[in-house]
Chains A and B, each alone.
Chain A
Amino acid sequence: MIKIGKKASLKFPVAFERDYSLNGRRAKHALEVGLASADWYHTDIPRKTIKALMRRSDRPALIDTAIWFGLLLLTGLGGVALWGQWWAVPFFAAYGVLYGSASDSRWHECGHGTAFKTDWMNNIIYHIASFMVIRNPISWRWSHARHHTDTIIVGRDPEINLTRPPKIIEAALRFTGILSGPKSLQIMFRNGVGFMTEDELNYIPSSEVSKVVLWARVHLSMYILTVLMCIVLWSIIPLMLVGFPRLYGCWHMVMLGLLQHGGLEEDVTDHRLNSRTLYINPISRWLYWNMNYHVEHHMFPMVPYHSLPRLHDLIKHDLPKPNSSISEAYRELFFALWHQRIDSDFCIQKKLPSTAKPFRKEFHDLKFTETSN
């Protein structure tokens, strides 16, 4: 059903802005109807099998991390050595993606505590990656926990990155980091002076707020030091190595991040309806640590990244057919965004194979009616 808002008298109908705040009407609605902290659908897997898949190992992540740091060093040094020449561009392009995009997947997997078997290793890489991607390591841990409890539940999930109706230009600008980078720093500054928004306080326990402030100050101090180094050396190179890569190298993170849930259903309790699995090239899979298997990750978040392909093979009979490539997934996403400009209820409804159990439908008829007030 198309909901036409207060601008219905205009020539082109415009869909109502949905209230994604965590203390608004949609949040109240989610709590009232039982969408918050609900029981979610899981594909049946024998206990022995899922235990084997959840088993941790340090080895894959140690190898990947050594390669990651090695490549960061090589490309960073290459870019600095060739500074002033065009040959520096490919080095910084590679360094930027390794810094500004691969840090996101390392942040994510180590935040889950699944990358390494040894938890202090998870914590160290989590903090390094949090700094690189300009995320407060405490508040984002809680934000992501909520994202997994209430995935794409409007008014509950703080990590819905494509809201409805879609802001297409803003989404396109995210590929440059030109808005999100400074915004992340602004949030860090706000947290650093001790101010939390109502939304942040909705998912961060009061006992953790002092840690949020502390880590924001640590991160800000490191950025101040980087700027001071630029002034002392009278060179932009320190910022090209620390900070700016989050802008010029974030495009790969954004490219795949928008596909995780974009254009799919909201307010459902079946990850097969609101998450997207797609096949991607091996380099992107390495940079992204297999998060292209996103339905599988949300169904079984404690399965480490290196076991996700095996999990996918095991349960794909119960999942919608994956998108065959990044470009095919983007065609699907653009189709959804185009329709959502005028119809916020529009979304892609995935088809299940005949071998799958039916979708959970109990919340599908509980549509929240948008009004202008």
Chain B
Amino acid sequence: MNNWITVCLKDVIEEEDVIRFDYDGRSFAIYRDLWNDYFATDGFCTHERVHLADGLVLDDTIECPKHNGRFNYKTGVALRSPACEALSTYPVRLENGVVQIAL
């Protein structure tokens, strides 16, 4: 059974953007796309320990702010080297205007 954790109010994340969410010693990246759907992945790039939340969201892609490794943040798939390994993704839901992530 999913353990739903509250992240933030839905408007805290802008359209086509990402924020960092730290919980229980782990870091996550929470995304909002252009259609107001929300997504979550691990917070660090799989290439180096760099926070993806400092990167740029372009369509369905998150770009690592240091080396330009790219991932599809909806599926976690690595799209551009130096990122080779996929990101872990997590279920996200909206409950009364609040973004929640399942861990």
Q: Which residues of A contact B (CB under 8 A)?
A: 37, 47, 51, 54-56, 112-114, 119, 141-142, 145, 148-149, 205, 207-208, 300-302
Contact = CB atoms under 8 A, between A and B. Distances in A.
Contact of B67 (A56, A145, A207): A145
A143 to B, nearest CB: 11
Interface residues of B, number: 17
B66 A148 contact: yes
B63 A302 contact: yes
B48 A302 contact: no
B20 to A, nearest CB: 11
Given A119-B80, A149-B67, A37 B48 contact: yes
Most B Cβ at <10 Å: residue of A51, A141, A207: A51
26 contacts: A37-B48, A47-B17, A51-B56, A54-B65, A55-B56, A56-B58, A112-B68, A113-B70, A114-B68, A119-B80, A141-B81, A142-B82, A145-B47, A145-B48, A149-B48, A149-B67, A207-B84, A300-B65, A301-B65, A301-B66, A301-B67, A302-B55, A302-B56, A302-B65, A302-B66, A302-B68
Nearest to A113: B68
Nearest to A149: B48
B49 interface: yes
Contact of A141 (B48, B65, B70, B82): B82
B46 to A, nearest CB: 12
A260 to B, nearest CB: 17
A142 B67 CA distance: 10
A324 B55 CA distance: 32
A207 B56 CA distance: 27
A208 B82 CA distance: 10
A280 B67 CA distance: 26
A268 B58 CA distance: 32
Nearest to A114: B68
A158 to B, nearest CB: 14
Contacts of A54: 56, 65
Interface string B33-50: 000000000000001110
A140 B25 CA distance: 35
Contacts of A208: 81
